[in-house]
Amino acid sequence: MKARESYISLIFSYKASFTLIVFIALILVFSLLSPNHVFVKSDNLGALGKLIPDLGIISMGVGMLMIGGEFDLSVASIIPMSSFIFVKMLEWQFPMPLIPFITILVGIVMGYINGLLVTKVKIPSFIATLGTMMFWRGVLYAASRMMPIGIRAYLEPGTLFEKILVGTIKGGIPVQILWLIFFTLILGFLLHFHKFGNWVFVTGDNRIAARAMGINTDMVKIVCFMIVGFLCSFMSMMQALRIESFAATQGIGYELKAIASSVVGGTSLAGGIGSVPGILLGTLTIQILENGLILLGAPVFGINAFIGAGIIAFAVLNVYIEKWKTV
Amino acid sequence: MDNLNNNKPLVEMKDIHKWFGKVYALRGVDFHVNYNEIVGLVGDNGAGKSTLIKILSGFHTADRGEIYFEGKKVNIRTPKDAKNLGIETVYQEQALAPHVSIARNVFMGREPTKILGFLDRKKMEKDSLETIAKLGLKLRNPDTVVEALSGGQRQGVAIARVLYFKAKLVILDEPTIALSVKESQQVMEFIKQLKEEGISVIFITHNLYHAFQIAERFVVLSHGEKLTDVKREDTNIDDLSLLITSGKKVSEKMSE
């Protein structure tokens, strides 16, 4: 009996518990109210299954970085930049097995540059990554002249590589979902069960203490930036294969959506607080909110207004919940 | 333990000088701590207490002077060097990550791991509570975040850390500054327990009443110089506080 009580209080002490309630409520509302219950029809679930991993994979990295006390706005440019390089390598007929590794290397290097700017040049990450976001986007627009590049001329459908990244498994479940689960587990174990995760938390929570205890906080932050870069490149390949093209508009808005997902999932903007399950939940909540509103007939082009209002409402409610919990 | 080597101090700092630009912060200070001894390091703001301690804990290096630890001359260039010798510093509120659990705080940066760097959580939870209990502090849940603890309990967690990692010398920088009377008493008890465990302590404070309860010897600094070095039985609070406020050399005052 006691154990059950403590389990319940544990769930409620968890910062993302409120998100879980909202998440379940949203699913119920959209399932019941969407015309013909399309929200839970397999077509829509399949679409969600392809869309959610895009943002989810990015949010994992961005959220972990936020726990470590830094922001990364440049994801909005790392994504299209590595997508561009990926598709260009297809066009140039690079040896296929090399292409994904080089693409991912590009993301890691871009993350490393962000990390150096923040830790060694000591520019606040918000400014540093705002700079790299604009810089890489400028380079990209100049290099691509903003023209999309279709991949089908260079990659016939149905290759093993494509199946691994964007295929479907039994019952039409998109492979992307498996990748999201994979990264969630890897980063979840890293953050919550590995010593590196402990370093991330204490670096974000009290950097002076972490350094006094011999933790190389610069290294911790740089590695987090590199993980973000890795995830951006990985996701950019998934996205390019899904839309069968490089598009210069890829990644736009992801920087803020990833932060929003993290915050909705209980990550602190000040660092030191957050969890991988929370970030996943935050992403699901935001994506489902967007999808559900469209199904309910909300104007598609104005959808950001609803999401923005939703995030603010969420933050306000969270403040009250926190107060209520501490009473 | 060779604490019997009582003639030689555990740590000895000789003729320590430190400049910060044009500021002459330490002007040839001699300072030592014996085995299993609690020393109160007192003085007004800007007296040089923190500078002296930061040299000992590796945050600053002295411009001149020598440090001997357990009889051997040592070079302390980084906090890590100090830690390797067994010198640990507990800073006011700076030692802990408030939103992280007790167990994770105790083992911050020195996490016990199983394979591939994965945390040995059982060991962290069990050992952190056991060590905290050694200080006479009862905490039940190692997953409690430090923010939820009282100020005294937090100091307990920070002190448990140095106890667990077998420090030989613990430097406590103003450990009672933000605490209530009751919590301060709790911290005094922790410090007594450190001595029970055979650890030497340097206790930096403004509060002579706190220092007088536990310190066996007092070193008073003023304007970068050592004013006096006196055993508790040879002094009293009034003399000490007069010394600190007047800032005069003891030789001028106590011309015996």
Q: Where are chain A's structural domains?
A: 44-296
Residue type, B40: G
Max mean pLDDT among A30-44, A132-146, B46-60, B164-178 falls in A132-146
Look over chain A and give the mean of its residue pLDDT values, rounded to a whole number. 90
Q: Three-state SS string across chain A, please?
A: CHHHHHHHHHHHHCCCHHHHHHHHHHHHHHHHHCHHHHHHCHHHHHHHHHHHHHHHHHHHHHHHHHHCCCCCCCHHHHHHHHHHHHHHHHHCCCCCCHHHHHHHHHHHHHHHHHHHHHHCCCCCHHHHHHHHHHHHHHHHHHHHCCCCEECCCCCCCCCHHHHHHHCEEHHHEEHHHHHHHHHHHHHHHHHHHEHHHHHHHHHHHCHHHHHHCCCCHHHHHHHHHHHHHHHHHHHHHHHHHHHCEECCCCCCCHHHHHHHHHHHCCCCCCCCCCCHHHHHHHHHHHHHHHHHHHHCCCCHHHHHHHHHHHHHHHHHHHHHHHHHHHC
Q: What is the pLDDT of residues B66-103, one digit of tens each?
A: 999 999 999 999 888 998 999 998 876 678 999 999 99
Most confident range, picked from A134-148, B151-165, B222-236: A134-148
Minimal-distance CA residue of chain A relative to B108: A213
Say what the pLDDT of residue A315 is: 78
Task: State pLDDT tens for residues A183-199.
Answer: 999 999 999 999 999 99
Residues comprising chain B, all counted: 256
Q: Which residues of A touch B54 (CB under 8 A)?
A: none
Q: Is the pLDDT of residue A1 over 80?
A: no
Beta-ladder partners of B222: B225
Give the residue, A289 or B251, on which the prediction is more confident. A289
Instruction: Tell me which architecture the domain covering A44-296 has in CATH.
Output: Orthogonal Bundle (1.10)
**Average pLDDT, stretch B152-163?**
90
Contacts of B103 in chain A (CB under 8 A): none
Which of chain B's residues have a Cβ under 8 Å away from the Cβ of A273?
99
The full DSSP string for B132-192 is HHHTT-----TTSBGGGS-HHHHHHHHHHHHHHTT-SEEEEESTTTT--HHHHHHHHHHHH
Per-residue pLDDT for B2 more than 50? no
The pLDDT of residue B1 is above 80: no
At A261, the amino acid letter reads S
Q: Do A209 and B94 touch (CB under 8 A)?
A: yes
Task: Answer yes or no: do B104 and A198 touch at CB < 8 A.
Answer: yes
Measured distance CA(A229)–CA(A223) in Å, rounded? 10
pLDDT at residue A2 is higher than 50:
no
What does the buried/exposed string (b/e) look like for A119-128 if buried means 16 or more CB atoms within 10 Å of the residue's CB? Answer: beeebebeeb
Alpha carbon of A248 to those of A228, B155, B213: distances in Å? 20, 54, 71
Q: Any chain A CB within 8 A of the CB of B114?
A: no
CA B170 to chain centre: 4
A251: left (phi over 0), alpha (psi -120 to 50) or beta: left
How many CA atoms are closer than 13 Å to the CA of B114, on its beta-carbon side? 9
Q: What would the mean pLDDT of A212-233 be, rounded to a whole number?
A: 95
Is residue A260 left, alpha or beta, with left meaning phi > 0 and alpha meaning psi from -120 to 50?
alpha
**For B34, left (φ over 0), alpha (ψ -120 to 50), or beta?**
beta
Query: What six digits make up the tokens of A130?
Result: 């705002």
Put simply, the answer to whether A209 touches B108 (Cβ < 8 Å) is yes
Collect all residues of chain B within an 8 Å Cβ-Cβ radius of residue A205.
Answer: 97-100
The conformation of residue B120, written as its DSSP 8-state character, comes to -
Q: Given the DSSP bridges, would you call strands B200-204 and B38-43 parallel, antiparallel or unpaired? A: parallel
> CB-based burial of residue B59 (10 Å sphere; 0-12 exposed, 13-18 middle, 19+ buried)?
middle
Q: Which domains does chain B have, with CATH numbers?
A: 11-247 (3.40.50.300)
pLDDT in tens, A287-315: 999 899 988 888 888 888 888 888 888 77
CA distance B215 to B217: 6
Residue type at B25 in one-letter notation:
A
Distance (Å) of CA A172 to CA A177, A238, A280, B26, B142: 11, 17, 22, 74, 45
Judged on CB neighbours under 10 Å (0-12, 13-18, 19+), B228 is buried
Distance from CA of A139 to the nearest CA of B (A): 40
B98 in contact with A, Cβ within 8 Å: yes
Residues from chain A contacting residue B109 (CB–CB below 8 Å): 199, 202, 210, 213-215
Could you tell me which residues come within 8 angstroms of residue B159 by beta carbon, excluding any fewer than 6 positions away? B90, B135, B170, B172, B175, B187, B190, B191, B194
- DSSP secondary-structure letter at B224? T
pLDDT, tens digit, for every residue of A239-257?
Answer: 999 999 999 999 999 999 9
Number of residues that make up chain A:
327
CA–CA distance, B87 with A122 (Å, rounded to integer) = 30
Q: Is B97 on the interface with A (CB under 8 A)?
A: yes
Residue appearing with tokens 């399309």: A38
The alpha-carbon gap from A181 to the nearest alpha carbon of chain B, in Å, equals 20
Q: Of A221, A229, A264, which Cα lies nearest the Cα of A67? A: A221
A220 close to A196: Cβ distance less than 8 angstroms: yes
By Cβ distance, the residue of A209, A215, A273 closest to B95 is A209
Which residue out of B105, B108, B165 would a mutagenesis test of the A interface target, given it has the greatest number of A Cβ atoms within 10 Å? B108
Strands of the B217-222 sheet, one edge to the other: B87-91, B169-173, B200-204, B38-43, B217-222, B225-231
**For helices A2-13 and A17-33, what crossing angle results, to 10°?**
80
Q: Kindly tell me if the per-residue pLDDT of B106 is higher than 50.
A: yes
Q: Phi, psi at residue B48, to the nearest 5°?
A: 110, 5
Q: The complex's ipTM?
A: 0.85
C-alpha–C-alpha distance, residues B231 and B236, integer Å: 10
Interface test with A, best of B91, B100, B120 (most A CBs within 10 A): B100
**pLDDT at residue A137, rounded to an integer:** 96
DSSP secondary-structure letter at B118? Answer: B
Confidence of residue A8 (pLDDT cuts 50, 70, 90): low
Q: What is the mean pLDDT of residues B24-30?
A: 93
- DSSP secondary structure letter of residue B76: -
